[in-house]
Structure 1
């Protein structure tokens, strides 16, 4: 009989402990909040903020560790730790902005803060994903929560419009991403990112039409989530109609989570077939930068201007991805600066 290996257990469970804390906190806030009046939801906000702070402290514990957990479903490395920490910071700033806003606008505190936590959980799952299905699960957990958050001001027609547009276009783009994942699995025989990287690095699949079609569909799916042209149509209306703290959360948190998965999959695992997708990203990046900046000039609504600013920044980040894996650190540095400046705006 093998001895009880506490170190191995710690290595497996420590990476998901911050996510467990967030999930438990979301359920507690939802259950406790049923008895809290909407105009007195600051207490729920403070509980949410404290939970995010505890998760942040535990996330610091995985900085510097490297490996995989749960049979490769979770990646433990500095890349995932970086994105988890920045996502948690963005969520904490969003909660702080929401303390007065939610109470003054009579937004249901229990549902609002629980959905913020569940969407944060999905973002963290995307950042730590080690296979394509976990990326998809994280994306859906994040997206469904944000669809509802966008429409939390139920008596505001623009908020209702934002939720419907985001949901319909989001569901459509998710279909592209999932079909792309299925085609990549069909071509490589695996959903795990490590084996996919090894299969593509061998060079045998470089011109496989099944693989190329799958990569193309995944570009469309991720392109919607990062608001790249021509998949940006939802962004201005959703940013304008959503509650202001939710707009900030979408502009920063959703983009961070989407780029965490986009960068890991394409710059690392699809690097060996970069010749097939880098040209596409060059074109998309040029269109995104140009259109985002030009249309932003004509805006008179600050939230729509923020939306087109987010679109333009997505173009700058895609330009880094198109340049290849050597631009990885620059992309992370840019995302860090983007997070704080957009939350400030």
Structure 2
């Protein structure tokens, strides 16, 4: 006799553990329909509904936050404290991004509902990336994160009638560069994933880890080991582009300068969160035991990550010294901060030493990403506040005497610059302390020293902005035409996050105490 198949319920599939990302995805599709039906005079409801969707997803994240690891979608998606924490970072980022956008779209005559739909869809992609337990989900999440950003980077092109406006031309150039280079990076990731699959016979990260050992135990000239090595390298290239690491960084300054400033702020954080989450999942969960030499410590990819981190730290900080446009300066600053995070990622390669080293490195990355989110969103918020409607007003000289006319804006910007430089009592200091500590524990002393020295270099161009705002009092200061209510709330929320994380250090460490990947 044949037994009738047992019907699976949603509870059996554990769909609820992916509910934060699913809710945001369905909320985005709901918003797409509602925005089409809304009359023109009620379009102001679109950003409000978008914020409601983000809040609902945030509540779902808190309700599903658990120290346990639970999988769904056939083991392709995993919910654990790592996923929950980074979901919170992504949702805070998109929430602040929406606050920064509402008045900006009105001032620049680009007020169209698809902007918020693309923004939420990009955030959904980032949330799927942070919970990815399979190479296929990493790729799908990456594309869902990236494709809306390609459109948003060139968003001013579509609706501005004056095609000769410099800001429109830069937005168009940035969007095209981002799209073309992003397509190449996706190709590298897909090809690398295919080679890893060819070597291990699976795309599941935990199964990849289990398959690595037998591959390395076979003959020295094993083709599987070669496929795994090349595949890992190609995957590093694809994800290195997303996080803006050297030498895959060339798109960053042009895209950051040309894109609408709220999108630059959002992109600078969301792309890094998704990219580094996928990178950590791949290297820690899947490839932490991949070593061509005897033993499992250090991992073969550790040297490559160290070299990329060093190049990123040096080039990002030293090129930033010569920038006169603040958006480009913050772009190279973003590159440099990718180098600091990569310092902790390199420490993950020492998994064979002590698992505590890996846990400390992963927790350092999480705290750094949260600190960077508050700091960078706030800094771009101040830039947006003094930016003119035509995209001008973002040069260093435009910050001269800002304390005279807008003391609160100048004070907030000073706090953000101190945090980016890693000054104590700010979130940036806590993030750098944890990252460098993880590198030292892993025995990567030269890399930690280079990180500290380049932090000293970075202080010069951050302090230069502060000097312009507070000491060049002969100038009247910028008019701050973009200082709307939403922008002020975004800046104040970011400033509060920077100070709270910098002062209440036990709160920061407790937030990530449950996080572990191995």
TM range (shorter): over 0.9
Instruction: Please say if residues 40 and 103 of structure 1, whose CA atoms lie closer than 8 Å, have aligned partners that are also in contact.
Output: no
Q: Which runs of 5+ in 2 are unaligned?
A: 161-167, 291-297, 349-357, 380-518
Q: Contact between 1:123 and 1:139, CA under 8 Å: does it hold in 2?
A: yes
Are 1:342 and 2:385 counterparts? no
1:142 paired with 2:145, answer yes
**Which of 345, 367, 384 is the equivalent residue of 1:333?**
367
The answer as to 2:257 corresponding to 1:240 is yes
Residue by residue over 1:179-217, the C-alpha shift from the partner in whole angstroms, topping out at 9 and shown as x without a partner, is 000000000000001100111244437971111000000
1:63 alignment counterpart: 65
Q: Following the alignment from structure 2 to structure 1, what is the Cα–Cα distance between the partners of residues 97 and 64?
A: 24
> CA–CA distance in 2 between the matches of 1:332 and 1:90?
14
SS state at 2:78 partner: strand
Deviation, 1:332, is 1.2
Supply the distance in 2 between the matched residues of 1:230 and 1:164 (Cα, whole angstroms). Answer: 19
Aligned to 2:329: 305
Match of 1:47 in 2: 49
Shift in Å, 1:18: 1.7
Shift of 1:25: 1.9
Partner in structure 1 of residue 199 of structure 2: 187
Distance change in 2, residues 1:317/1:304 (3 Å): same
Deviation at 1:41, TM superposition (A): 4.2
Q: CA RMSD in A?
A: 2.1
Show the counterpart of 1:14. 16
Question: In structure 1, what is the equivalent of residue 239 of structure 2?
Answer: 222
Go from structure 1 to structure 2 and tell me whether the alpha carbon gap of 1:131 and 1:63 turns closer, same or farther (over 3 Å shift): same
1:33 Cα shift?
2.0
Distance (Å, rounded) in 2 between the aligned partners of 1:261 and 1:21: 21
Instruction: Confirm or deny: 8 A CA contact 2:17 2:70 kept in the other structure.
Output: no
The Cα shift of 1:39 comes to 8.7
SS at match of 2:217: coil
Alignment of 1:142-291 (within 5 A): 142-154=145-157, 155=160, 156-202=168-214, 203-204=216-217, 208-273=225-290, 275-291=299-315
Deviations 1:287-335 (A, max 9, x none): 0001001111111111111111110000011111111224111111111
Deviations 1:11-56 (A, max 9, x none): 7121222222212221222222235577964321111011000000
Distance of 2:39 and 2:331 partners within structure 1: 32
| Whole-angstrom distance in 2 between the partners of 1:104 and 1:49 | 20
Query: What is the CA–CA distance in structure 2 between the aligned matches of 1:316 and 1:49, rounded to whole Å?
Result: 32
Is 1:293 the counterpart of 2:327? The answer is no
Q: Name the residue aligned to 1:96.
A: 99
SS at the partner of 2:59?
helix
Structure 2 matches for 1:104-119, cutoff 5 A? 104-119=107-122
Any idea what SS the aligned residue of 1:109 has? coil
User: Is the Cα–Cα contact under 8 Å of residues 256 and 264 in structure 2 kept in the other structure?
Assistant: yes
1:293, 1:309 within 8 Å by CA — same for their partners in 2?
Answer: yes
1:30 maps to 2:17: no
Q: Which has the larger radius of gyration?
A: 2
Q: Does structure 1 residue 320 correspond to structure 2 residue 344?
A: yes
Residue 76 of structure 1 is matched in structure 2 by 79
Correspondence for 2:482: none
> Gapped runs of 5+ residues in structure 1?
none
Per-residue CA deviation, residues 130-184 of structure 1 (Å, 9 max, x unaligned), is 1000110000111111100101101311111111000000001110000000000
Normalised to the residue count of structure 2, the TM-score between the two structures is 0.64
Aligned residue number for residue 450 of structure 2: none
The answer to whether the Cα contact below 8 Å between 2:13 and 2:73 also exists between their aligned partners in 1 is no
Alpha carbons of 1:39 and 1:258: their partners in 2 closer, same or farther (altered >3 Å)?
A: farther
